[in-house]
Amino acid sequence: MKRYLLLCLIFVAGVAHAQLNLKVTKGVDNPTKIAVVPFTWAGGRLPEDLGKIVGNDLEFSGQFEAIAADRMLSFPRSETEVHYRDWKALGSEYLLIGSITQQADRYYASYELFDVVQQKRVFAKLTVDGTEAQLRDMAHHISDKVYETITGIRGIFSTKLIYVEAFTRPQKYRLMLSDIDGFRPRMLLETRFPLLSPVWSPNGQRVAYVSFEVDNKPSIYVQDIATGRRQQMTNFRGLNGAPAWSPDGQKLAMALSKDGNPEIYVMNVLTRQLTRITNHFAIDHEPTWSADGASIFFTSDRGGKPQIYEVNVASMQQERVTFDGDYNARPRVSPDGKSLVMLNKRPGTSYHIAAQDIKSGNLRILSETNLDESPTIAPNGAMLMYATRSGGKGVLAAVSLDARVKILQPPKQGDVREPAWSPFFK
């Protein structure tokens, strides 16, 4: 029953896709100021401005403010040319300098970070290299290094985003892959029928999603991101929805209505063997695994209103976990396993993204936008992205898990929905 389809359309070159271009609408009250000096480069025009990308990356975290190049008093190329008082005068707390050289078709970017307040070098010169097509990857790598050195948290600038873009007249849906800053969008799939619920496999090599392309009925597919090769995993009667990878990547939890009404099942990806997890006349939907893979969180209206329940996969014991608000759905567990992020609605309010501390049960509303949906958490657990409405369009927004940073994407041509934040890549 294994069906492999090769999607040639992925490799169609020359299709220019609109970039997402996320903008910080609210950062931390007192962001760390950093000066990223334009990287020196002896050759002609480089296709990418690495220093600028690093500055944008750090600002995208909401925790940094990059000092504009036109305000800089000097452009030091090495430690001996760094005069701390120049940078102190600008209020800068950190200084990053770098240079790019080329050998054959490879580029080498060397960079050094200085602490302006303590007037010392933070780390000795580091070098990263790549091809011309990898210049942005090199910049994101530098951003990760700087971010982790200063904040102690692993950076997410080299991670990727998968999202669904929907167009009307003619109706079409695209599964898109881009850098986390929205640049370098690449189409993974285009169909005339709805695409839903993309999720990354834990190793970041595959994506599972729901497509209506066969007879306009939902089926779950697993697609290899690099090759485009894909397999249809389910084709059951009724609902085939909400795939979720187990942390070990060997199983997919999903919602199927093949036995009557929607229930949670677990499928072994290799053997296709199905295990039924829930059995209730209410709707059980939107499964997601706990961080340790021992249990599955899911949405159920068995208590009259949609709420989130947890089922232990070994004992099948079920327990309700959300009690705040009359609507809690679409759960996602933070990488440290401590927080549950979900869609929450309290009486008389709109749908917001909320985070609940799993142990204490305390719930905090994170988003200030309305009609929010589809939260997806960054692999470092510091931030999450979700879909919302702005200017009558579906757009993406991001918020830090402490709700101090808020980012909104300006409306684009198509509706953007269902973001899925990738894991860390090795």
Contact in structure between 175 and 188 (CB atoms under 8 Å): yes
| 348 binds other proteins per the rule CB under 8 A | no
Which residue, 326, 327, 309, is CA-closest to 318? 309
| 323 binds other proteins per the rule CB under 8 A | yes
In the stretch 263-282, what mask flags binding to other proteins with x, by CB under 8 A? ------------------xx
Q: How far is the CB of 325 from other proteins (least distance, A)?
A: 12
| 320 binds other proteins per the rule CB under 8 A | yes
* Whole-number Å distance between alpha carbons of 147 and 154: 7
Q: Which stretch binds other proteins (CB under 8 A): 118-126, 304-312, 335-343, 408-416?
A: 304-312
Output 172 or 305, the one with its CB closest to other proteins: 305
Q: How far is the CB of 301 from other proteins (least distance, A)?
A: 7
Q: Which stretch binds other proteins (CB under 8 A): 10-18, 48-56, 85-93, 300-308?
A: 300-308
Output 321 or 403, the one with its CB closest to other proteins: 321
Distance set, CA 322 to CA 101, 138, 306 (Å):
55, 42, 10
Output 158 or 307, the one with its CB closest to other proteins: 307
Give the interface size with other proteins as a residue count (CB under 8 A): 11
Q: How far is the CB of 226 from other proteins (least distance, A)?
A: 44
Among 77, 121, 305, 346, binds other proteins (CB under 8 A): 305
Contact in structure between 59 and 21 (CB atoms under 8 Å): no
Q: How far is the CB of 282 from other proteins (least distance, A)?
A: 6
Which residue, 234, 196, 230, 192, is CA-closest to 213? 192
Output 197 or 356, the one with its CB closest to other proteins: 356
Output 307 or 388, the one with its CB closest to other proteins: 307
Q: Tokens representing 337?
A: 């396993």
Output 248 or 259, the one with its CB closest to other proteins: 259
| 346 binds other proteins per the rule CB under 8 A | no
Q: Which stretch binds other proteins (CB under 8 A): 92-100, 148-156, 181-189, 295-303?
A: 295-303
Output 182 or 325, the one with its CB closest to other proteins: 325
* Whole-number Å distance between alpha carbons of 358 and 335: 13
Q: How far is the CB of 293 from other proteins (least distance, A)?
A: 25
User: Considering only residues 91-110, where is the footprint of other proteins by CB under 8 A?
Assistant: none
Q: How far is the CB of 333 from other proteins (least distance, A)?
A: 20
Output 37 or 283, the one with its CB closest to other proteins: 283
Output 151 or 312, the one with its CB closest to other proteins: 312
Among 260, 347, 348, 392, binds other proteins (CB under 8 A): 260
Label each residue of the chain as H, E or C.
CCCEECCHHHHCCCCCCCCCCCEEEECCCCCEEEEECCCEECCCCCCCCHHHHHHHHHHHCCCEEECCHHHCCCCCCCHHHCCHHHHHHCCCCEEEEEEEEEECCEEEEEEEEEECCCCEEEEEEEEEEECHHHHHHHHHHHHHHHHHHHHCCCCCCCCEEEEEEEECCCCEEEEEEEECCCCCCEEEEEECCCEEEEEECCCCCEEEEEEEEECCEEEEEEEECCCCCEEECCCCCCCEEEEEECCCCCEEEEEECCCCCCEEEEEECCCCCEEECCCCCCCEEEEEECCCCCEEEEEECCCCCCEEEEEECCCCCEEECCCCCCEEEEEEECCCCCEEEEEEECCCCCCEEEEEECCCCCEEECCCCCCCEEEEECCCCCEEEEEEEECCEEEEEEEECCCCCEEECCCCCCEEEEEEECCCCC
Q: How far is the CB of 279 from other proteins (least distance, A)?
A: 14
| 301 binds other proteins per the rule CB under 8 A | yes
| 303 binds other proteins per the rule CB under 8 A | yes
Residue recorded with tokens 């970017």: 109
Output 170 or 304, the one with its CB closest to other proteins: 304
Output 50 or 283, the one with its CB closest to other proteins: 283
Q: How far is the CB of 131 from other proteins (least distance, A)?
A: 57
Q: Which stretch binds other proteins (CB under 8 A): 8-16, 90-98, 170-178, 303-311?
A: 303-311
Q: Which residues bind other proteins (CB under 8 A)?
A: 260, 281-282, 301-305, 307, 320, 323
